[in-house]
Structure 1
Amino acid sequence: SSGLILPDGSKADGVVDKAFLLIGRSSLFDVVPMPVVIMVVVAVIFYVLLEHTRMGRLLFAVGGNPVAAHLAGANVPRLKTVAYVLSGMLASLGGIIIAARVGRGDISSGGSLLMDAVAAALIGFAVLDRRVPNVFGTVVGAVFVGVLLNGLTMLNAPYYTQDFIKGAVLVGALAITYGLGAKRSA
């Protein structure tokens, strides 16, 4: 944003506060990166919210079958709004962490992370053999995708092959998820 002309005619200086950069670049006890700490805290909060509260059960019900949830007495429009607000909050948190890591705000910073996020969620869907989305499985999927990408980078794999490998892992996760569904229905 350096050089951006502001509404009053002045130019943005492009200075990022050092405290903001600590969100993405610091470590807890010089061991655990702060984004990992944030991920663990958010995962615990959402685990408790989704697995141990009435609203969490209702959110799963609305996601599974909104008509049945409505017939059971759930306020479906309100719960959908809650789901979208929570999703927006998590997306904003992810954007803040990315901006703090790279030191600038850029609209295209997280564009390449979409397939990684989908792969993590689908891998997490199949992790516990529960056949339902779950926080623990999503965290395991995210760690798996992160380790996979770091390993490919350390092996000097060309960037375009990383997308092929991520795609293969995504197809494998879908196959496992589909296989679990077929096994349960049999």
Structure 2
Amino acid sequence: MNKALSASSASAPRQQIFSFLSKWGMVLTVIAMIAIFGIASENFLDPFNIINILRSIAIVTVIAIGVSVSLTVGGFDLSVGSTASLANALVISLFVWHGFGTTAAILLTLGLCMLVGLFNALLIVVLRIPDMLATLGSLFVIQGVAMTYSYGGSITENMVLPSGDMAEGTIPAAFGALGQVPTIVFIMLGVTLVAQLGLSLTTHGRRMYAIGGNPEAARLSGIRTRRYKVAAYLIASLLAGLGGILLASRIGSSQVNAGGSYLMDAVAAAWIGFSLAGSGKPNALGTLVGAVILGVLQNGLVMLSVPYYAMDIIKGLVLAGALAVTYFQWR
């Protein structure tokens, strides 16, 4: 018996260490990477570079929070990248082709992007297609719609239209400011704060978590699960559309499938968010931390002149190591 007590007392500190790592492993990863890159590159901690990192993660964070919202109800939206591409094409075309003002173009673009959420909800809630398969299908549909709408090319000021005429519309200066510092950073932080408070402190947020935890129990308790699932996909499409609008503002044009490259980083950031503070559930603050990890890693590797073709290897290994530290359970 004394041996058992001794073994138990000896394992207690180790259990506490693993418990601490499981809660704060991702934050420690961010701190470690900043320290390593700060030592390896004298310019990494330069304020201008820090601002550049924040600007680079803003779009990913906004899109990833949309993915996190879909995860709260036990879903998974893979169409966010294509929705961002569609928003990118729509908002620029409304300026260049149709002469819309900033507010009208943004609102119309967001409204049209929310139709993607309704389409996803139709497939998932009404037709009962599994979330991943349904949104994978809509990924290709929306990507095709965006490419067809833009005639398979870029949309820019003074472009030649398929009819042979010259596009006469211009991109307003006010719209261009949305994608610049500090506005884009404030938008990212605002979306993060609103999402975090909405999910953690409101009745609707707790109901969404309940649906994600046990949909049948949530339904039997009187929660209208179908409505909340529809709402989750509408929010995911809305935020993906906002991400596409910020991308359009940042680059000043519409590029073919411009939002597609954000999908995997957004998904990674959303899943990393599960581990923050041991929450074990999707949350906006954790998603922000996940995006920071990806942004710091990408920026640091560039500053160290790591070949672009090796970056994904290093990024994958670092993320796998960080997740291992976070999710490993001591027994």
TM over 0.5: yes
Name the stretch that deviates more: 83-92 or 137-146: 137-146
Q: Which amino acid aligns with 1:3?
A: V
The secondary structure found in structure 1 opposite 2:291 is: helix
Superposed CA RMSD: 2.0
- CA distances 1:82-103 after superposition (whole Å, capped 9, x unpaired): 0001101110110001111111
Q: How far apart are the structure 1 equivalents of 2:249 and 2:187? A: 13
Residue 235 of structure 2 is aligned to residue 80 of structure 1: no
Residue from 241, 249, 259 that aligns with 1:110:
259
Residue from 215, 219, 228 that aligns with 1:70:
219
Structure with the larger RCO, 1 or 2 (CA within 8 Å, 6+ apart): 2
Whether the 8 Å CA contact 1:58–1:74 is kept in 2: the answer is yes
Q: Which amino acid aligns with 1:61?
A: A
- CA shift at 1:17, angstroms? 2.0
Residue 157 of structure 2 is aligned to residue 45 of structure 1: no
- CA shift at 1:163, angstroms? 1.4
Q: How far apart are the structure 2 equivalents of 1:137 and 1:110? A: 22
Q: How far apart are the structure 1 equivalents of 2:297 and 2:266? A: 13
Whether the 8 Å CA contact 2:275–2:327 is kept in 1: the answer is no
Q: How far apart are the structure 2 equivalents of 1:170 and 1:144? A: 8
Structure 1 gaps of 5+ residues are: 28-32
Match of 1:3 in 2: 160
Match of 1:24 in 2: 179
Q: Which amino acid aligns with 1:23?
A: L
Structure 2 gaps of 5+ residues are: 1-154
Aligned residues: 174
Q: Give the structure with the larger helix fraction.
A: 2
- CA shift at 1:20, angstroms? 1.2
- CA distances 1:154-183 after superposition (whole Å, capped 9, x unpaired): 11212221212222233335434542xx55
Residue from 305, 310, 329 that aligns with 1:156:
305
The secondary structure found in structure 2 opposite 1:12 is: coil
- CA shift at 1:10, angstroms? 4.0
Whether the 8 Å CA contact 2:177–2:249 is kept in 1: the answer is yes
Residue 35 of structure 2 is aligned to residue 35 of structure 1: no
Whether the 8 Å CA contact 1:3–1:13 is kept in 2: the answer is no
Name the stretch that deviates more: 161-170 or 54-63: 161-170
Work out which of the two has the higher radius of gyration on C-alpha atoms and give 1 or 2.
Answer: 2
Q: Report the identity percentage.
A: 48
Match of 1:98 in 2: 247
- CA distances 1:93-135 after superposition (whole Å, capped 9, x unpaired): 1000111111112242122222221222222211211211111
The secondary structure found in structure 2 opposite 1:146 is: helix
- CA shift at 1:65, angstroms? 2.0
